[in-house]
Amino acid sequence: MKTRNESSTSSRPIRLPGRRRGDRSHTPKADRKGLYQRAIRESFVKLTPRIAVRNPVMFVVWLGTIVTLLVTINPNLFGSVQADIGQQRLLNGIITLILFFTILFANFAEAVAEGRGKAQADALRSTRSDTVARKLSPDGSVQDISSTKLRRGDQVKVIAGDMVPADGDVIQGIGSVDESAITGESAPVLKQPGTDIASSVTGGTRLLSDELIVRITSDPGQGFIDRMISLVEGAERSKTPNEIALTVLLAVLTQVFLIVVATTPSVSGYIAGFLDGVAGATTGNNLRTGTSIAILIALLVALIPTTIGGLLSAIGIAGMDRVAQFNVIATSGRAVEACGDVNTLVLDKTGTITLGNRLADEFIPVNGHSVPEVADICLAASVFDETPEGRSIVQLAQKLGAKFDLDGQPAEGIEFSARTRMSGTDLDSKEYRKGAVDAIKGFVRSRGGQVPTTLDEAYERVSRLGGTPLAVCQGNEIYGVIYLKDIVKTGLRERFDQLRRMGVKTIMLTGDNRITASVIAQEAGVDDFIAEATPEDKINVIRSEQAQGKLVAMTGDGTNDAPALAQANVGVAMNSGTQAAKEAANMVDLDSDPTKLIDLVTIGKQLLITRGALTTFSVANDIAKYFAIIPTIFAAAGIGALNIMGLKSAQSAIVSALIYNALIIPVLIPLALRGVQFRPLTADQLLQRNMLIYGLGGIIAPFIAIKAIDLILPLS
């Protein structure tokens, strides 16, 4: 039995995708005090050209602001302006101010996202202060060195009360470790060498009792916590493939509008010259004023995709942060994004689909015995059995009225072993045994007994029900079969249905026989299952899915899962798992909850949807901005009728469009950080829904908002 904390998985309510976990009280508490003050300060720091240039769209705004500032100081800098200098200066000044705030808002969005990550990281880092490690020299002497000087392969001695200095494997000693700093689980975990899972310790956790000798498995700065810190802080955040592609598109759009705006003055200048002749110099000059440099920059900024350009990095950082809030360490943003693309989930049955423990559900008598008789024998065979299965048998037997009286006679519990595959109780000369049907058959035969024909019928019946049959006997007499029932976690069926609707296929792996596996598979609602699976089957099923072009996600914890975790596109290792598994995976779940894989798919999708929705919104906004600005600045050319919003004047139209353009960024920050609400729908339904909100909404919203701002503005 693995030491995984089963009760935590079973008691936790199954969450609906997209809903944030309400209760994360055991997560390291992120200190969010002063987050916004820090973010405001940070938004000014990010004005530094060296940092600003990283975001091509916003850097264009940055450069534009410098130019408008110059023409505010001297409106005639780039050729003399025909309009009243004072008025022109005022307009240029207003434009400069709004552009400046546009950049600040974009910086603020990024700073808030980073700040939230930093808060998370600080909380983690506090567990990670330098400790003194007792390094064991080859000659056996102990040497005190700083934990940062430890190298992979070093051996250290950890004594009760010490902090474990770095990630490692226990090679000697037994002790209980408090891992609450990283997992939040307050119950101490027993660590001892040799066993797959219980031998790995994580740096930053505290040894509560005894002594351990630990072999360090990671160099300083390479441990899991270090990786998580650098990721949530956004410091080492490399752009994900989709983000890069989107940045390219935004850069191309920016260049297109640069060309459009840069060529406008010569076109309008030509028309102005024509108007001078036919309609008088005033009309021509009006057109020239309408296309002064500050106004052209305003037009450019309104047209380039500043909304998504300003929020793009915040969306990415917030996505990582959401994963971290789920207590999952992702080694890269790429892995988080890949979650959204996953086509197939490979899930272990035990612990993921079913509760780890099977419970006794029924006693089936054979060989002419009655149920109470069987219950008595079962109780007798299980009194010393402390496993959850054993306790459930005792409970069921007592419910059926069975009694077991020791009467002071000497009784001895026979422990389960992998060799005998049975356990039981010796009382006096009576041997009570329960175990695998084959093992009990052998036991009875060895005692000179007969195997009743009805036993096989009972065995098959239990298998068909998806249960595990255990035979019980006393001496050479088989009494019956215990039906141990696998309990499928509640709510999983709905979630698999949702996944299916989203086009994600689920495959269950189990060591059970085909009949049992098929019953569980049907009950849980998975799409496919592999029975009597070996660790090799796991990697084979991943490979065969990948050969069809699918992306596969899986969870695992044992060393023999490592190759499959490495092969999978998204491999989530349990924190309770071995170092090998954690090294091979691209995510580590600190809660060791395999069901989380389903939530990760949702987070990945949400990240992509948020990005797409804001891009669509940003691009759709251009229609309204065009219709606000072009007819009013070209009004002298007689196209004023295209001013369908009825904006007051060119100045008011430009300022309104720019104010909208600036304000939409802070308005959308919460959406960028929280992510677009995700619903488990098919792609077509999702497209329809999001197109309606962000596409159609993106066309209509700015018309209304710009008109409203125009009405409020005191500009004439």
Report strand pairing: 344-348 vs 505-509: parallel
- Tokens representing 625 are 């901005």
Instruction: Count the residues in the chain.
Output: 716
Residue whose token pair is 């006693």: 363
78, 293 contact by CB (below 8 A): yes
Phi, psi of 84, deg, nearest 5: -60, 125
Is 537 annotated as catalytic? no
Residue whose token pair is 């200098």: 85
Instruction: Compute the least distance from the CB of residue 530 to other proteins, in Å.
Output: 19
Residue whose token pair is 């992510």: 675
In sequence order, what DSSP letters do the residues of 79-117 get, joined into one string? S--SS-HHHHHHHHHHHHHHHHHHHHHHHHHHHHHHHHH
Residue number, 73 or 244, with CB nearest to other proteins: 244
Instruction: Compute the least distance from the CB of residue 58 to other proteins, in Å.
Output: 19
375, 363 contact by CB (below 8 A): yes
Residue number, 174 or 693, with CB nearest to other proteins: 693
Collapsed DSSP state (helix, strand, coil) of residue 427 = strand
Of the candidates 129, 74, 125, which has an alpha carbon nearest to the alpha carbon of residue 96? 74
**Rounded to an integer, what distance in angstroms lies between the CA atom of residue 375 and that of residue 365?**
9
Own/partner pairs for 94-98, CB < 8 Å, 24+ apart?
A: 94/655, 95/68, 95/294, 95/295, 95/297, 95/298, 95/654, 95/655, 95/658, 96/65, 96/68, 96/69, 96/72, 96/294, 98/655, 98/658, 98/659, 98/661, 98/662
Select which of 167, 196, 348, 486 is catalytic.
348
Of the candidates 18, 9, 561, 555, which has an alpha carbon nearest to the alpha carbon of residue 340? 18
Residue number, 7 or 544, with CB nearest to other proteins: 544
Instruction: Compute the least distance from the CB of residue 402 to other proteins, in Å.
Output: 51
Alpha helices (runs of H) in 585-679, residue ranges in sequence order:
596-633, 650-674
Question: In a 10 Å sphere around its CB, with 0-12 CB exposed, 13-18 middle and 19+ buried, how is residue 377 labelled?
Answer: buried
Instruction: Compute the least distance from the CB of residue 130 to other proteins, in Å.
Output: 41
Residue number, 171 or 692, with CB nearest to other proteins: 692
Of the candidates 547, 607, 537, 535, which has an alpha carbon nearest to the alpha carbon of residue 578? 535
* DSSP H or E segment with residue 142: strand 142-146
Residue number, 29 or 674, with CB nearest to other proteins: 674
Instruction: Compute the least distance from the CB of residue 80 to other proteins, in Å.
Output: 18
- Tokens representing 557 are 């914890």
Contacts of residue 674, Cβ cutoff 8 Å, sequence gap at least 6: 318
Residue number, 32 or 501, with CB nearest to other proteins: 501
Instruction: Compute the least distance from the CB of residue 511 to other proteins, in Å.
Output: 29
Instruction: Compute the least distance from the CB of residue 613 to other proteins, in Å.
Output: 5
Residue number, 371 or 623, with CB nearest to other proteins: 623
- Tokens representing 473 are 């006997």
Report strand pairing: 468-474 vs 430-436: antiparallel
Residue number, 247 or 350, with CB nearest to other proteins: 247
Instruction: Compute the least distance from the CB of residue 685 to other proteins, in Å.
Output: 9
Instruction: Compute the least distance from the CB of residue 490 to other proteins, in Å.
Output: 25
Residue number, 510 or 690, with CB nearest to other proteins: 690
Q: Which residues does the annotation mark as catalytic? A: 348
